[in-house]
Amino acid sequence: MAETIFSKIIKREIPSTIRFEDEDFIVINDIYPKAPVHVLIIPKKAYESLEAVDLNDDIFYAKLLKKARQVAKELGISDNYKIFMNIGKDVQDIQHLHLHLMGGWKNKEQKSLFSE
């Protein structure tokens, strides 16, 4: 996989606001936030997209969703948040799997972006 801005952030070659980090993930602020709280949960193991992860890798999938819940709690948005992921070259700006975690709205009208 080609090097991406995320792999450079993980290696500290590019500065970023790191909110959380452990051995598997790094969590950074989105530079173009679409919500009062908008962070990216990025696996340190580089996958081009979700489609590059083995369907049988239940441990990875569980860790990703568990990390989203943990980060939402740490950021104080666990009562109302959204998670989403872009998949594929036509919709994914950076070809390194990452999960968007968004929240912090004060009312329903503020969260109209990405509403069901």
Q: Block means of pLDDT (10 residues each) for the chain, length 116 residues? A: 89 95 97 96 95 96 97 96 93 94 80 51
86-89-91-96 Cα dihedral, nearest 10 degrees: 40
Question: Which amino acid, residue 99?
Answer: L
Print the domain residue range for 15. Answer: 5-108
- Residue 107 has what pLDDT? 65
CATH number of the domain bearing residue 94: 3.30.428.10
In a domain, 115, yes or no: no
Q: How many CB atoms neighbour CB 53 within 10 A?
A: 16
- Residue 116 has what pLDDT? 46
CA pair distance 96, 42, nearest whole angstrom: 8
- Residue 1 has what pLDDT? 67
Catalytic residues: 98
CA pair distance 77, 69, nearest whole angstrom: 9
Predicted TM-score of the model (pTM): 0.89
In a domain, 54, yes or no: yes
Q: How many domains does the chain have?
A: 1
In a domain, 113, yes or no: no
What are the φ/ψ torsions at residue 35 (nearest 5 degrees)?
Answer: -155, 160
The residues pairing with 25 across neighbouring beta strands, listed in sequence order, are 43
